[in-house]
Amino acid sequence: MSAAIEPFDAVDVIRTKRDGGAVGEAALRWMIDAYTRGYVSDAQMASFAMAILQRGMERDEIRVMTDAMIATGERMSFAALGKRTVDKHSTGGVGDKITLPLAPLVAVFGVAVPQLSGRGLGHTGGTLDKLESIPGWRAALSNDEMFAQMQSDVGAVICAAGSGLAPADKKLYALRDVTGTVEAIPLIASSIMSKKIAEGTDALVLDVKFGNGAFMQDIDRARELARTMVALGTDSGVATTALLTDMNTPLGLAIGNANEVRESVEILAGGGPADVRELTLALAREMLALAGQPDADVEAALDDGRAMDSWRAMIRAQDGDPDAALPTARETHIVRAAVDGVVTRMDALPFGIAAWRLGAGRARAEDPVIHAAGIDLAVKPGDRVSAGQALFTLSAEDDVRFARALQALDGAYEIGQAAPEIAPIVRERITA
């Protein structure tokens, strides 16, 4: 019996994009499907990804590619819930724990929040890694468990995405990581949005970060990525908006896993660092506006205990103990100010790398994280300090990790005499 004849040739598709042309819909859908089932080789897809990086894609091409990636797996629907669903996605940064207080806060208002999250890799932390600091908490839920939790009074769920959502993306993402094509905006946008659209949410808010600690360091490229993803969501019937947010300085005072959970609980108790509170409220307002509640008083829900009650219910629903002690590190090292002055700069990326070297992150997907490891900042840019005052504390299970972490932080912060200009954390709002 002869093998089925393929309708296209991968080399022709690669040449079309290499030469700056637009790949036709049928050919593009075939390319994604054929790669997922193994007919198109990794070498061929790597060449195609490089051509996309160099030549770009038209809006319609990105839409077709995203839809083709969705078609390789399952597509969920929350229509039977009987209430609006709204999700949030962040492009990642240093100290970005916003999902933790945000999901239960939005759920206070009767909106279902299906927050399918991931794990950290490199200097950016993973939401699931943070939550697994809580004794007993479980990231892996079946679709039935996820639906039941959202349909109940709990409303919010933060869990791992199932393997059935956009399997083409998982395969292509791993290839991009080793072929120097991670930065291609069409590939980033289709990767993120294929999973979010397949998830079946009614609405989506994107937190697209820019700055030295972000995936997109340049604000113009971050804006382009945001606009591309908003267009993809809109074209697919998902109400989508984006906020461009600053990631030049670590978000909040905690960088790690267990310590970021502690800081999130502070936010839910009505306290916590001002920047984390500000961004949590901004994203909550955006999510609830898309869910039809533009006048929801999210600030009151943080301050009167309703968000905390929602958090505790969400953690318990996934077998976690919200009252259990979180891990603490065996070893600490305090870095102190050498001179009097004002903190003028704290670059996010080196602090993220330092936390990673302390054990808070992973170099490979299969590596474990050390939940107690991380960095706690005592000051932020604009704060006045005296010589000898603590600037930040490194935490690790083994003090041999401190040397390489401190090496990463060499030149990462500065104490001067003039107070710096503090830029707003939310820079722009992007809509369809």
**Could you please report the per-residue DSSP string of 12-73?**
HHHHHHHTTPPPPHHHHHHHHHHHHTTSS-HHHHHHHHHHHHHH---HHHHHHHHHHHHTTS
170 is catalytic: no
**DSSP SS3 for 158:** strand
Q: Nearest 5 degrees, angle CA 83-CA 166-CA 192?
A: 75
Which has the closest alpha carbon to 373: 412, 407, 335, 327? 327
Q: Which of 195, 227, 277, 285 is catalytic?
A: 195
Rg (CA), the chain: 22
Q: SS3 for 256?
A: strand
Catalytic residue, candidates 89, 170, 209, 362: 89
* Active-site residue, selected from the candidate residues 67, 169, 207, 275: 169
The answer to whether 123 is a known catalytic residue is no
Q: How would you classify residue 92: left for phi > 0, otherwise alpha for psi between -120 and 50, otherwise beta?
A: left
Catalytic residue among 176, 223, 362, 371: 176
In this structure, the number of other CB atoms found within 10 A of the CB of residue 93 comes to 28
Are residues 95 and 255 in contact, defined by beta-carbon separation less than 8 angstroms? yes
Give SS3 for 296: coil
CA–CA separation, 232 and 371 (whole Å): 36
Contact present, 24 and 155 (Cβ < 8 Å): no
Active-site residue 97, yes or no? no
**In contact, 78 and 44? CB cutoff 8 Å:** no
176 flagged as catalytic: yes
Question: Annotated catalytic residue: which of 191, 236, 264, 395?
Answer: 191
Contact yes or no for 236/67 (Cβ under 8 A): yes
Active-site annotation, residues? 89, 169, 176, 191, 195
